[in-house]
Amino acid sequence: MFDTRLEAALGDRRALADLSAAVQNDHKIAGCRKLVLAAAWADAHSGVDDPDGGPWVEQLVALGPVGCPPVAETAAAGLVLPFQTSVLGARGWISDALNLRHRLPQLWARVVAGEVHHWKAREIAQQTARLNPVTAGIVDAQITRWTEQLPWASVLRALEAIILEVDPAAYHEREQLAAAKREVRATQSENGLRTLIARGESGDVALMLALYGQVAEALADEGDEDPLPVRLSKAIGVIANPTRLIDLLARHHDDPDPHREPWVQVAAHQDDPTDPWADDLPAAGWETSRHGNHHQPGLDDDCWDDQTEGGDEVELSEEAPIDDADLAWHAGRRETEAATATPSEPEGRAVVRADWPAARGRPRWRALTPAELAASRPTAVLHVHLADQTLRDGRGVVRSPDGPITVEQLRRYLVQTDANVIVRPVVDPAETASADAYEIPLRLRRAMAVRHPRSVFPHSPATGRMDLDHTRPWQHDGPAGQTGLGNLGPLARSEHRAKTVGCWQSRQPEPGTYLWRSPEGWIAITTNQGTLTLGHNDWAHQLWNPAAPAAALPGVREPVAQS
């Protein structure tokens, strides 16, 4: 049957898309049926011949969490051959099925209807297994509707936030268990490199990454032309040598803030007529960032790269020989300090100061002043979302890019790291004015990040640095205000290319609501709440057609999709 449908669809992209959707739906239904069968199998083994017969007869055991009925201890073995899995794997299927049916009824209803992927339902069941039945039911009511609508990474973050909100005690228990797993270790790698793995508290890791970025920026300013990931790797050797690190940071203390947005740095270069870089930067608006389009960064741009793991193997070389000038300097210094030594200093012992020359000795550093400590702190940016009620009560959920945390974790991050805290005002996207130019101002980028932290492409999990695409192409002779939140949407580079050269079409009938049409005619709606796939039926096209712009810009034509 499938081979016949496949042969008939060969060469027809729309028919192949329809067949792919049918196969995906069959796969989803098949997984759900396995869960339903596992629950039915447990029902068929819910009793034993002699439950009080002692250890020599079969007993009832609890395969599922609290609230699930017991099952015969050998029941899982009967599914080994039908499911083609191990006894442990079969026990997992039965446990998750019972958990879903007896503790997560709304999600179980979607499983029975074949509306959710089985692996998603099982993951939610496992994440809520430690909760009591009442709390699990509360989580079920809040997470079920998002299971297939949001990208899976967003579902997991929402699930973690809901569990933290409804059962903070369980979250703190898991936090303590996770704290015991903090470690720093290195593994063998290839070609003389080693991989450094570190697990630490979120705030400490954020500051460490900020320090790595600061060192990498300083290396670039000193002429290092390697890409950002390589310079971040080189930072390991710099940070491992405190004297070299302090010297490097001191020499670049007055450099511009490396955390400024790249387009702000470009503008600073272009506005300074004495800047030697100013003449090397062409006007924005070209095809790629390599040619000057700082509005749309390229894939290889250093400023867009994520922090990567890994590092160089640090090899200690022999100390450089001390030349005669250094020896003479040191001898004179010792005589001067011996003559001016205070009684508290041991007699005959030289006090080596922090201005030790290139002799590479081990100086005795003086304590830094508060001003010097403040100047040496790296700059890290932390975006958090929390309600005023959470601040007043001192408990609640704080949403951060690394996942939900507690108020106490946020306070610990701010206090223990001794950070310089700068509170920025809350950005209201509705109050952010449009711009006339093609380049997107920083205020619009920040407002868009608040409204859409993810890509607006259907089912996309992409976050972080993304292109801001003009839904309706920007025109040089077009009307004012073309660059605004009602005509912008974040896209990953590959998604942007799909729209630019791949005949995908998008419309934004209302700010924040995006209609997408694939080259094969499939239509979907995306918002910051997720994706709703409508298919390519008449009803979907009745939504697509009225969403066309009322008055097209001069010379703008949408690409014609294949029918």
Q: Identify whether residues 133 and 209 lie together within a single domain.
A: no
What domain count does the chain have?
4
CA distance 546 to 52: 70
Residue at which a domain ends, from 312, 345, 377 = 312
Q: Identify whether residues 484 and 527 lie together within a single domain.
A: yes
CA distance 182 to 170: 19
Q: Identify whether residues 120 and 257 lie together within a single domain.
A: no
pLDDT at 316: 37
Element spanning 185, H or E: strand 183-188
Q: Identify whether residues 358 and 307 lie together within a single domain.
A: no
CA distance 448 to 488: 8
Q: Which of 425, 417, 405, 408 lies closest to 380 in space, CA to CA?
A: 417
CA distance 98 to 68: 6
Q: SS3 for 517? A: strand
pLDDT at 274: 54
Q: Identify whether residues 142 and 218 lie together within a single domain.
A: no
pLDDT at 334: 61
Q: Which of 79, 2, 85, 80 lies closest to 38 in space, CA to CA?
A: 79
User: Cβ distance 401 to 383 under 8 Å?
Assistant: yes
In a domain? residue 376:
no
Q: Which residues contact 214 (CB under 8 A, 6 or more apart)?
A: 249, 258, 378, 379
User: Within 10 A of 108 (CB to CB), how many other CB atoms are there?
Assistant: 25
CA distances from 162 to 127, 148, 170, 355, 459 (A): 11, 17, 12, 55, 22
pLDDT at 498: 86
Q: Helical H runs in 377-421?
A: 388-393, 407-416
Residue at which a domain ends, from 246, 278, 312 = 312
CA distance 224 to 234: 10
In a domain? residue 361:
yes
In a domain? residue 27:
yes
Q: Identify whether residues 289 and 338 lie together within a single domain.
A: no
pLDDT at 368: 64
Q: At what angle do helices 13-44 and 118-127 cross, to 10 degrees?
A: 50
User: Within 10 A of 179 (CB to CB), how many other CB atoms are there?
Assistant: 11
Q: Is 93 left (phi over 0), alpha (psi -120 to 50) or beta?
A: alpha
In a domain? residue 41:
yes
Q: Is 546 left (phi over 0), alpha (psi -120 to 50) or beta?
A: alpha
In a domain? residue 357:
yes
Contacts 24+ apart (CB under 8 A), 46-54: 46/70, 46/71, 46/72, 47/72, 48/72
Q: SS3 for 388? A: helix
Torsion sign, CA atoms 23, 28, 29, 33: positive
User: Cβ distance 91 to 99 under 8 Å?
Assistant: no
- Which ranges of the chain have pLDDT less than 50? 259, 263, 276-320, 341-363, 551-563
User: Within 10 A of 367 (CB to CB), how many other CB atoms are there?
Assistant: 6
Q: Identify whether residues 188 and 134 lie together within a single domain.
A: no
DSSP string, 6-26: HHHHTT-HHHHHHHHHHHHHH
pLDDT at 342: 45
Q: SS3 for 451? A: helix
User: Cβ distance 506 to 498 under 8 Å?
Assistant: no
Tokens linked to 357:
């020359």
pLDDT at 489: 92
At 67, the amino acid letter reads G
Tokens linked to 317:
């070389």
Q: Identify whether residues 37 and 140 lie together within a single domain.
A: yes
Residue at which a domain ends, from 312, 346, 376 = 312
Q: Identify whether residues 141 and 232 lie together within a single domain.
A: no
CA distance 517 to 293: 27
In a domain? residue 392:
no
In a domain? residue 16:
yes
CA distance 281 to 265: 11
Q: Which of 426, 454, 419, 487 lies closest to 210 in space, CA to CA?
A: 419
Q: What is the DSSP letter of 296?
A: S
CA distance 400 to 382: 8
Q: Identify whether residues 267 and 347 lie together within a single domain.
A: no
pLDDT at 485: 87
User: Cβ distance 218 to 252 under 8 Å?
Assistant: yes
Q: Identify whether residues 220 and 293 lie together within a single domain.
A: yes
In a domain? residue 442:
no
State the distance between the two ends of the chain, measured CA to CA, in whole angstroms.
25
Q: Identify whether residues 305 and 333 lie together within a single domain.
A: no
User: Cβ distance 504 to 544 under 8 Å?
Assistant: no
Q: At what angle do helices 202-221 and 407-416 cross, to 10 degrees?
A: 40
Tokens linked to 393:
């009560």
At 304, the amino acid letter reads W
Beta bridge partners of 195: 187
Q: Which domain holds residue 330?
A: 326-366
